[in-house]
Structure 1
């Protein structure tokens, strides 16, 4: 059975990005190798990833993929959007559908690995609402933003499974238990 995982980082006050979609606050933080939420170990277990338009545009613009920068993922990437966008690499697939309608395609693309819900607290909530979010891995950065893009946009009960530390980050792994609505 495929595991759907929201692997992300947040500010201490619960924002994924600042009010201008910036991540400087996150990228400035020191990090260590070999911790609970070690990215290299995590990405090795990912067979497919899903992101929204904002995340796709942030990645392509900030890594200057159109100008010769490298797309950071080797896995198939599904971008959920109704906008007409151009794929930067052949492995990018655009879909204008709800998560449940994509389940078979996502799981086939992932094979025996996980599906990563990349960025976007509202996208993660849509997967949770569809019963397609199993785990939430969150690294909490030692910074307060005051406003921005929220970590999650729905009410859910979670079960804490593990905790760790990565330099100044507090790391936590949760199992999604149920909706609170």
Structure 2
């Protein structure tokens, strides 16, 4: 069985999106519009919330240009946690899920088979995985940018006894850090 990893980019002030739920700040950072291949995890399944999903659809125009969806996500399944009706790009394997993370875990693990599950956003969704003991790793590419408000990176309290540093390095303009998350005792 693979791991469940929350892997995202953040400002150094700890926000992943601005107050309008936009990631445009990221694309103004050198390398932010085309991340280093070393920063892209090999997730068999991608998970995101509806706000992230809607932003990706709008930003890439994937509904009218489905090939743009496939350029970013390929044919892998993408699970979107939502309570709203949303459209999907033609031919894309997008699965809409509502309800608690715990209820969706069997379907996520089945779709991933032995591969990893990659949570791309948002921070609260990643926190919900943490809350049920289903978050194995947190990886953050910290950008040289600051926002004064917006969507927080990880709106949970996690003590240092639960996080083990696995990696810290520079990747272009970003500082890359990765932590293993220990189960709650």
> TM-score normalized by structure 1?
0.89
Q: Deviations over 1:86-117 (max 9, x none)?
A: 22244001011211111111111112210011
Task: Tell me what 2:43 maps to.
Answer: 46
Q: How do 1:98-113 residues align onto structure 2 when only pairs under 5 Å count?
A: 98-113=100-115
Report the equivalent of 1:27: 27
Measure the CA separation in 2 of the matches of 1:103 and 1:34.
28
Match of 2:149 among 147, 150, 158: 147
Flag structure 1 segments of 5+ consecutive residues without an equivalent.
none
Instruction: Give 2:86's aligned residue.
Output: 85
- Retained in 2: the 8 A contact 1:135–1:174? yes
Residue 159 (str. 1) matches residue 175 (str. 2): no
Quote the Cα distance in structure 1 between the aligned partners of 2:25 and 2:184: 30
Q: Structure 1 residues 83 and 9 mapped into 2: Cα distance closer, same or farther (>3 Å)?
A: same
Is the Cα–Cα contact under 8 Å of residues 50 and 77 in structure 1 kept in the other structure? yes
Cα distance in 1, alignment partners of residues 78 and 140 from structure 2: 21
Contact 2:29 / 2:145 at 8 angstroms: preserved in 1?
A: no
Query: Over residues 128-181 of structure 1, what are the superposed CA-to-partner deviations in whole Å (9 max), with x where a residue is unaligned?
Result: 00111100010111111111110011111322111010122111000113569x
Structure 2: any 5+ residue segments left out of the alignment?
Answer: none
In the aligned structure 2, how far is the partner of 1:94 from the partner of 1:31? 31
| 1:139 aligned counterpart, secondary structure | strand
**SS at 1:100 equivalent:** helix
3-state SS of paired residue (1:38): helix
DSSP-derived class of the 2:121 partner: coil
Q: Where does residue 177 of structure 2 map in the other structure?
A: 172
Instruction: Count residues with an aligned counterpart.
Output: 176
RMSD between superposed Cα atoms in Å: 2.2
What is aligned with 1:63?
A: 60
CA distance in 1, matches of 2:121, 2:103: 20
Q: Do the aligned residues in 1 keep the contact of 2:78 with 2:95 (CA within 8 Å)?
A: yes
Larger deviation: 56-65 or 151-160? 151-160
